[in-house]
Chains A and B, each alone.
Chain A
Amino acid sequence: MKKLLSAPVLFAAAGILLVVGVVLAFWYSPIDASSMGFSQKIFYYHVPIAAAALVAYGVAFVAAILYLRSQDLKWDRLGYVSVRIGLLFSILVMATGMIWGKASWGVWWAWEPRLTTYLLACFLYAAYWVLRSVVDEEQRRATYAAVFAIIAFIDVPITYFATRLMPSGLHPVLSGLAGSMAVSFGICMLGMLTLMTALIKRDYEIELIKDRVTDLKTSLGG
């Protein structure tokens, strides 16, 4: 089972799923009936990336709680890599969102709830990074980062609700998906989540190895 969930296998699985997803999205699923037409296809990537970003932040949230309870630094490593991946995916969400926006509304940027929530998420988790960089002592850094990761994650949904108070109606809301679209979408979603898991797992393992190296260096008198 462990072998099945190892990073290389996950990457392979993600690769397959995403390629199949692209094929299905472009050749199998129909062109969207609404005004968006062909540009709607970006949604097959945009939404799964957005979901993966949130899941990554969620992993960081859980890791933070586990760290505070156990004081075991490995949870700190997990939190740190998850935030990094989440940040990467958030930037991709905004990039794909902007491309889609230009294609369908003609503007590169619009102040609407979902885009702005992800923009804020980028700043929140960038703040997480800055916080980590100004604390020198390891346990304290992990503790403060954990507290902030918890607070930040709670803030994201609240931000989303608050931004809906602002006037704006541009972001397309997707009502039900017809059969063939749902299949492609499902596969892309699964593929993206698998990719996210693979990236986090690989980065986490790298961090643990780095720690072992440092420990060895210290015990050798470094």
Chain B
Amino acid sequence: MSGWTQFKAILRKDLIRELRTRDMLVSMILFVLLAMIIFHYAFTVKEGADLTYFTGGMLWVTFIFAMLLGLNRSFAQEKDEHCLDGLLLCPVDRVTIFFAKTVGNLVFLLIIQAVAVPVFALFFVQRSFLGDLLPFLAVLLLADIGICSLGTLLATISMNTRSRDLLLPILLLPLLVPLLIAATGATTLVFAEGIGFGSVVARLLVLLGFDAIFLVAAWGTYDFAIGE
């Protein structure tokens, strides 16, 4: 019985559960697509308004708000059916639980992005950015890791409080600001000007630093967040 087996078991359980019911995925995808439509109407008051430099911002705001929905969901059921007790009774390192949950949330976010990004490009991006796909994907992945790791840690805490899902945005959004700055900047550059790897490097480094630091911090504190 190794940590790796347990990690896979938790991940598999969460994936099976979600893919079978698709509650969360469907809601999140619908939300994301609706948000894009709303953005269009919100920002094109002036005829022919150019949203090119708003693209990164719109995209990441949408993903972050969608993840707020998803993160709450991912813990709600553990709490409601007392399954969290069942999980904590197992001889498993609490950190393994953290990584399994984070990766699970990451997978869901990636699935949603796979659907949302092409639609977004269709609605808002004029130039073809296929040439810059690699830097774009790097930004996507690094930002996703940051959102999911901090999100998982904070969702664990907020689910155990009186306000439950109401608390998560208040805790998570201020913490994600640096990530948001870096991700939207890099994404907008890719969509608007299409520069190669070079100019997004500074932002990628911020994302990398953010991820590394907070993964370590979450690792160190998760035991306290989930226990009692």
Q: How large is the interface on A (under 10, 10 to 19, 20 to 34, 35 or more residues)?
A: 20 to 34
Task: Indicate whether A165 sits within 8 Å of B177 (C-beta atoms), given known contacts A136-B162, A147-B225.
Answer: no
Q: List 25 A-B contacts (CB under 8 A).
A: A123-B174, A124-B174, A130-B170, A131-B157, A131-B171, A134-B161, A134-B162, A135-B160, A140-B160, A144-B225, A146-B224, A147-B153, A147-B225, A150-B221, A151-B214, A151-B218, A151-B221, A155-B175, A159-B178, A161-B178, A161-B206, A162-B206, A162-B210, A165-B185, A165-B202
Chain B, residues 160-187, CB within 8 Å of chain A (1/0): the string is 1111000100110011011101100100
User: Are A154's CB and B213's CB within 8 A?
Assistant: yes
Chain A, residues 102-141, CB within 8 Å of chain B (1/0): the string is 0000000000000000001001100100110011100010
For A146, what are the chain B residues with a Cβ–Cβ distance below 8 Å? 224
**Quick one: which of B95-136 are within 8 Å of A by CB?**
none
**Quick one: which of A135-171 are within 8 Å of B by CB?**
135-136, 140, 143-144, 146-148, 150-152, 154-155, 158-159, 161-163, 165-166
**Quick one: which of A151-198 are within 8 Å of B by CB?**
151-152, 154-155, 158-159, 161-163, 165-166
**A68 at interface, CB cutoff 8 A:** yes
Q: Which one of A123, A131, A162 lies within 8 Å of B182 (CB-CB)?
A: A162
**Cα separation A185 to B128 with both chains bound (whole Å):** 55
User: Are B177's CB and A144's CB within 8 A?
Assistant: no
User: Are A68's CB and B221's CB within 8 A?
Assistant: yes
Across the A-B interface, give the 7 residue pairs with the lowest CB-CB distance, nearest first: A162-B178, A134-B161, A134-B162, A123-B174, A162-B181, A147-B221, A134-B163
**B150 at interface, CB cutoff 8 A:** yes
For A150, what are the chain B residues with a Cβ–Cβ distance below 8 Å? 217, 221
**Cα separation A159 to B162 with both chains bound (whole Å):** 29
Residue of B nearest to A68 (CB): B224
User: Are A131's CB and B217's CB within 8 A?
Assistant: no
For B214, what are the chain A residues with a Cβ–Cβ distance below 8 Å? 151, 154
> B150, B203, B206 — which one has the most chain A CB atoms within 10 A of its CB?
B206
For A161, what are the chain B residues with a Cβ–Cβ distance below 8 Å? 178, 206, 209
**Cα separation A144 to B210 with both chains bound (whole Å):** 21
**Cα separation A159 to B177 with both chains bound (whole Å):** 7
**B228 at interface, CB cutoff 8 A:** yes
> B161, B185, B202, B209 — which one has the most chain A CB atoms within 10 A of its CB?
B161
Q: Is the interface of B mostly helix, strand, loop or mixed?
A: helix
For B154, what are the chain A residues with a Cβ–Cβ distance below 8 Å? 148
User: Are A154's CB and B177's CB within 8 A?
Assistant: no
Q: Is the interface of A mostly helix, strand, loop or mixed?
A: helix
Q: Which one of B161, B178, B213, B221 lies within 8 Å of A131 (CB-CB)?
A: B161
**Cα separation A161 to B210 with both chains bound (whole Å):** 11
User: Are A147's CB and B157's CB within 8 A?
Assistant: yes
Q: Which one of A136, A147, A162 lies within 8 Å of B177 (CB-CB)?
A: A162
Q: Which one of B174, B206, B210 lies within 8 Å of A165 (CB-CB)?
A: B206
**Cα separation A146 to B153 with both chains bound (whole Å):** 13
User: Are A151's CB and B150's CB within 8 A?
Assistant: yes
CB proximity of A156 to chain B, nearest CB, Å: 10
For A124, what are the chain B residues with a Cβ–Cβ distance below 8 Å? 174-175
Residue of B nearest to A151 (CB): B217
For A144, what are the chain B residues with a Cβ–Cβ distance below 8 Å? 157, 160-161, 224-225
For A159, what are the chain B residues with a Cβ–Cβ distance below 8 Å? 177-178
For A127, what are the chain B residues with a Cβ–Cβ distance below 8 Å? 170-171, 174
Q: Which one of A134, A135, A154, A165 lies within 8 Å of B217 (CB-CB)?
A: A154
**Cα separation A162 to B202 with both chains bound (whole Å):** 10
User: Are A120's CB and B177's CB within 8 A?
Assistant: yes
**Cα separation A196 to B150 with both chains bound (whole Å):** 31
CB proximity of A201 to chain B, nearest CB, Å: 27
CB proximity of A155 to chain B, nearest CB, Å: 5
CB proximity of B199 to chain A, nearest CB, Å: 11
Task: Indicate whether A158 sits within 8 Å of B178 (C-beta atoms), given known contacts A148-B171, A165-B203.
Answer: yes
**Cα separation A217 to B228 with both chains bound (whole Å):** 27
